[in-house]
Structure 1
Amino acid sequence: MRVAFSPVYRYRLPAGHRFPMDKYTLLPEQLLYEGTVTESQFFTAQPLSEEAILRTHTPDYWAKLRDNGLSRKDARAIGFPMRPELVARGRIIARGTLDCARFAFRDGVALNIAGGTHHAFADHGEGFCVFNDIAIAANELLHAGEVNRILIVDLDVHQGNGTARIFRDEPRVFTFSMHGARNYPARKEQSDLDIGLPDQTGDEIYLDTLRWHLPGLLDGLKPDLVFYLSGVDVLQTDKLGRLGMTVQGCKERDRFVLEACHRRNLPVAVSMGGGYSDRLATIIEAHANTFRVAASLYD
């Protein structure tokens, strides 16, 4: 099992900002401390090439990012002031997801301690997302002829609107998003399968819904690769979510997805996605469970 780690640059978001950057440093420390992973399992990706970026994002958007030329309106849509170091880190994160996919072909699973930036469209970013890491990885693998069929399982609390739009006319990629119906974004795109859940949906209904839909998708589509976006903003404690799941229920969600892929010998690349609970310890515990489940199944 390989784990991508992207360095967190010494860049502080404005005071009171709701995006928890510290989790990207604390999560690998926790995983190492408890022995879920070892140092040898971590890797840091190289920056994603411009050629790979342009298979997914438009030349105009990339030029604005590269030259620090986003307008204030563009930056507001993303959700934080843009800096060159954040663009540089985004390139490493996106390459990490691509590398995880390739490691998954060999090891069965690989996980990125970052990524899941599913609100980035081809021509703009929004919702804390600059590059769409899963879309970039999927397009690169399709271009290289390494896969013919991809399933994206997006279980972040927010609909993967950017991903849905990017692959709207791509039959080789099936997008499945299960999210809060009344949550961001207010204007949803159309995934191949969207399941909008009512506010305060708890563990039982959430897991029953997932169990009803996912096996049929895996068996019917027979994908060469699964991308799994394992956001923990489905928790009842999440400031930006509206669902009612417990930490244990979130762990059972991860177990069901990864076991379903493992049982069918389907490689799965995991991107971490969102998590915005008040207590940072809750975020770390929920994210760590994804890695613990993967390690128990694949090591």
Structure 2
Amino acid sequence: MVKIAWHPLYAHPLPEGHRFPMVKYELIPEQLLHEGVITAANLFSPEALDEEIVLLTHQQAYWQQLKELSLPVREQRRIGFPLTGQLVERELRIAKGTVQGALFAQQVGIAFNVAGGTHHAGSNWGEGFCLLNDQAIAANYLLKTGLAKRILIIDLDVHQGNGTAEIFYDKPEVFTFSMHGDKNFPFRKETSDLDIALEDGTANEVFLEKLKAILPVLLAHQPDFVFYLSGVDVLETDKLGKLALTKAGCRERDRIVLQFCKDNRLPVQVSMGGGYSPAIKDIVDAHCSTFKIGLDIFE
């Protein structure tokens, strides 16, 4: 059975004045349950991640500041909101959900996290609403435990996965691929193993052609596991994205990636990433499509 990480704390509201569309984390599982796409048995509720696993990816000094809520104000501004204990616990549960999801994916082919995709968190910094890098943590866990030897991270959020790129810059076991808006956040990019920067206004045809052309090339890395960041901030309706994919284009993007994983017998863990369309329905519909396509391909 395909497993999906979700916890009520995912939708915990940010401090006043720092709210963004976190309600999607409640609505996505509700919509999937309402439509009969999943049952309650598909959902699992992650506990907080153990510190020793955090430290496989993040530096001790940075983690200590998060744990003790002593991160300098300047660094909290970089993250985008004031640090609280509940926010740290939220990130620990998201990361544990991705770690557990990776283990589930090795059993049945695919697993999802309703949240996650916190790819702006580097080894010693948080940024862009990201404190801990869930997919980087899970990748390092698989490598440390010998459950994977070569990992591919496919990041198709509209923003470059700068934290992920920094974490794995000199780690040949992990190949990082990011296709993102060139003139979008973060304005200081890191260097992934492969970066494809897109012009503002890039629409379905160009995006999908580039994606289809590059995926077969990535097999040269000989991965035995894939992490996929499926942000829906690529949509033309997104207020932060600057790209122009339609919902149909976004669905085809997910189909291409997940069929690629299935065809090449690569287990894949999927984290949702960003989505900032003004209408919450557009965000939820696009994210729910990712789940539906994955379930259709792998079940």
Q: Distance in 2 between matches of 1:215 and 1:79?
A: 37
For the Cα contact (< 8 Å) 1:234–1:245, is it kept in 2?
A: yes
For the Cα contact (< 8 Å) 2:76–2:82, is it kept in 1?
A: yes
Q: Distance in 1 between matches of 2:15 and 2:48?
A: 26
Give the equivalent residue in structure 2 for 1:153: 154
Counterpart mapping for 1:267-286 below 5 A = 267-286=267-286
Q: Tell me the CA shift for residue 280 of structure 1.
A: 0.3
Give the equivalent residue in structure 1 for 2:248: 248
Structure 2: where are the runs of 5+ without partners? none
The alignment's TM-score, normalised by the length of structure 2, stands at 0.97
For the Cα contact (< 8 Å) 2:57–2:137, is it kept in 1?
A: yes
Among all aligned residue pairs of Structure 1 and Structure 2, give the percentage whose two residues are the same amino acid. Answer: 55
Q: Tell me the CA shift for residue 19 of structure 1.
A: 2.1
Q: Distance in 2 between matches of 1:294 and 1:176?
A: 20
For the Cα contact (< 8 Å) 1:230–1:254, is it kept in 2?
A: yes
Residue 235 of structure 2 is aligned to residue 235 of structure 1: yes
For the Cα contact (< 8 Å) 1:6–1:114, is it kept in 2?
A: no
For the Cα contact (< 8 Å) 1:100–1:269, is it kept in 2?
A: yes
Give the equivalent residue in structure 2 for 1:74: 75
Give the equivalent residue in structure 2 for 1:105: 106
Give the equivalent residue in structure 1 for 2:4: 3
Give the equivalent residue in structure 2 for 1:27: 28
Q: Tell me the CA shift for residue 16 of structure 1.
A: 5.6
Q: Distance in 1 between matches of 2:154 and 2:106?
A: 17
Give the equivalent residue in structure 2 for 1:263: 263
Alignment partner of 1:211: what SS? helix
The Cα RMSD (Å) is 1.2
Q: Tell me the CA shift for residue 35 of structure 1.
A: 1.1
Q: Distance in 1 between matches of 2:100 and 2:215?
A: 25
**Letter of the 2:289 counterpart:** N
Alignment partner of 2:153: what SS? strand
For the Cα contact (< 8 Å) 1:151–1:225, is it kept in 2?
A: yes
Q: Per-residue CA shift, 1:78-114, capped at 9, x if unaligned?
A: 0111110110011010011011111111100000000
Q: Distance in 1 between matches of 2:35 and 2:12?
A: 28
Q: Tell me the CA shift for residue 190 of structure 1.
A: 0.4
Q: Distance in 1 between matches of 2:250 and 2:11?
A: 31
Q: Distance in 2 between matches of 1:276 and 1:193?
A: 25
For the Cα contact (< 8 Å) 1:8–1:25, is it kept in 2?
A: no
Structure 1: where are the runs of 5+ without partners? none
For the Cα contact (< 8 Å) 1:7–1:89, is it kept in 2?
A: no
